[in-house]
Structure formats: C-alpha cells, structure tokens
Amino acid sequence: MNNSIKFLIDDSSSGKRVDIFLSKNLNNFTRSYIKKLIGDRHLKINGISITSPSTRLKKLDKVVFELIQKSDDRIKPKKIKLDIVYEDKDILLIDKPKGMVVHPGAGNYENTLVNGLMYKYKNNLSNISGDLRPGIVHRIDKDTSGLLIIAKNNFSHSHLGRQFSEHTIKRKYQCLIWGIIRPLNGKIETLISRNKKNRKLMTASEISGKKAITNYTTIKVFNIKHIPKISLLECELETGRTHQIRVHLKYKGTSILGDKQYGKKNQKYKKVCEDFIKKLNSINGQALHAQTLEFEHPINNKILSFKTNLPDDFKKMLDFLNNQSG
C-alpha cells in the first residue's frame, strides 16, 4: 500500500534534518526505514525529489513523503465489542479492556483492537502506521486498561502523532503498588532499553536507552493489619516508552499489584487476611489503568479532556482496602 503524507515546515522545525523530522512525526516507523525510503526517491520537498536524509529543512518547505507498505491479508475484520468514549468524523477514543492486544503481531492476528476497528470502520481509518495498525496512534499494554486515541484519517494521525512527539498530550494513569514509594511524590527520569537477557522486557538505567520521564503522586497509603502495605499512585507520562510506568516502578524498588513480568516472583504471604488474597487473585493483569487523556483536537484545535472509570477488578480491590482502613 502506498500512502503520501504532507507537512508544511514551521519555525520550530526549520534547520532540522529531514530524516530526524520525519522519524519524530511518524512514531511507528524507524529512522532507518525512513532513510531507506528517502534513498529510494519517496521524498519530495517543494516538488523536487530528495534522496539525502541529511537535507536540512527551511521554514515554509512543503514536504511530501510516500510510505510504501506491503499488504497483509492475515488481518481479518472481526465483530468485537468496543467501548467508545468519544467519536467524531476525525477521531475516536476507546476504553480498552485488560486482556486485549492493541494490534496484531507475533502470530496473534485475531481478537485484537485492530480486528474490531476494521470490522466497524472498514477503510475509514488512518493508514500511516501500515496495514497491521490502521488508526493506531499510540498503544497501551495488553494487560493494562484505559484510554486510546484512534485516528480516522491521516491528517488527524499526523497531528496527534506530533503532539505525542512533543509531549503535549497529558496522560495520567492510576495504579496500586506494593509498599510505599520514596519520596511520596516525585519524578523518575532514566533511560529505557530492551532487557539483554529477555528481549520481551525493558530495563531502566542511566547508561543506555531512550529518555523516559514519569511524574508520580501518592494518593493514599494503606497500612492495614494483616495486609501488606499498599499505595495508590497517579502517574503522569512525559514520554511514552514501552512498559514505562512498570519499568520505572521496578527501578524504584516496587511493582504494581498483579504484574507478573516486573513484579516479585513466587511471593509468599504469612498471616495475611484471606479476603485480601482472594481480591488479589481476582485481579486480571496488573492494577494499572490509563484513566485520563487531554489533547488538542486535530481539526478544530479545541482542548479535549477525558476520564474513565477504573475496571471492576481494580475498583473492587480499592474498595476493599478503603473499607479495611476505615
């Protein structure tokens, strides 16, 4: 599939290399892939074909970039219930449940959010991210619930992608963690990269990786007899790295309730309330919810803000802790 996207360069982008500019505005494509397409004559600036990725942009340059994507017939539309929080002709917001994968990949080509979107919207979705990810501007983990923005056209997708790249979209999560994080309120700033021992996991360090920033606030600490100490946090992302909140909490010496990948293995409980254990075992995935999204509408430029309710398993655990703490 061929897809052309257009940009008009403003003051903030003037002087930048064109490959760096495109990689920042096309979140789902690597810089090496973009460089290859430039070399294959899929870039025009002011109507002139450009083959050098290092070309510097100037204010008011008209950039047209053609993405070449292979069709993938493994992705089948499927009728899946979608919890639509907001919708207009350009965008929609989905409250994704736990257990749902956002887009197909690694042998999983059914029952994803994308399968459901293709059934309901057919070709009325952006295709900047390719055939595997129509409409997908950003992602959240399979076992994390919460809000996702979907783009119905390429202009909206590019506009939203730019907001994510410039970190102007406000994303707030709530989570339940083991123990008490110190300080109670703060900022976690590290680099995040693939774990060398397990490529499915990420790791935080101060040496290598991509910059990652998470701001957090402790909403409440639960110090209840016969129950391990637990804290309710609100985390706001400045960046959006894979598994960012979960990795940052592990870096701080804690983890989210129900997180089997970054939490403690084979954790044993002594003299712990049985009702608490039951509630803990009923949590599906991690107790992490993408609760709030605030962004600029790509067409009318109005600021939109949305907030969703916690999923049932999260809410039941929180209600239980509040009741036990009096």
Q: Which DSSP state fits 57?
A: P
Spatial distance between the Cα atoms of 121 and 129, rounded to a whole number of angstroms? 16
2-8 and 62-68: which strand pairing?
antiparallel
Q: Which DSSP state fits 2?
A: E
Place of tokens 């129900």: 258
If we measure between CA atoms, which residue out of 47, 7, 305 comes closest to residue 128? 7
Contact between 290 and 170 (Cβ < 8 Å)? no
Tell me the chain's radius of gyration from C-alpha atoms. 21
Give me the DSSP letters along 183-240. Answer: SSEEEEEEEEEE-SS-TTSEEEESSSSEEEEEEEEEEEEE--TTS--EEEEEEEESS-
Residue 317: both structure tokens together: 């655990």
Active-site residues: which are they? 141
Place of tokens 């209600």: 319
If we measure between CA atoms, which residue out of 308, 12, 25, 5 comes closest to residue 164? 25
Q: Which residues of 95-106 are buried (b: 16+ CB within 10 A; e: fewer)?
A: bbbbebbbbbee
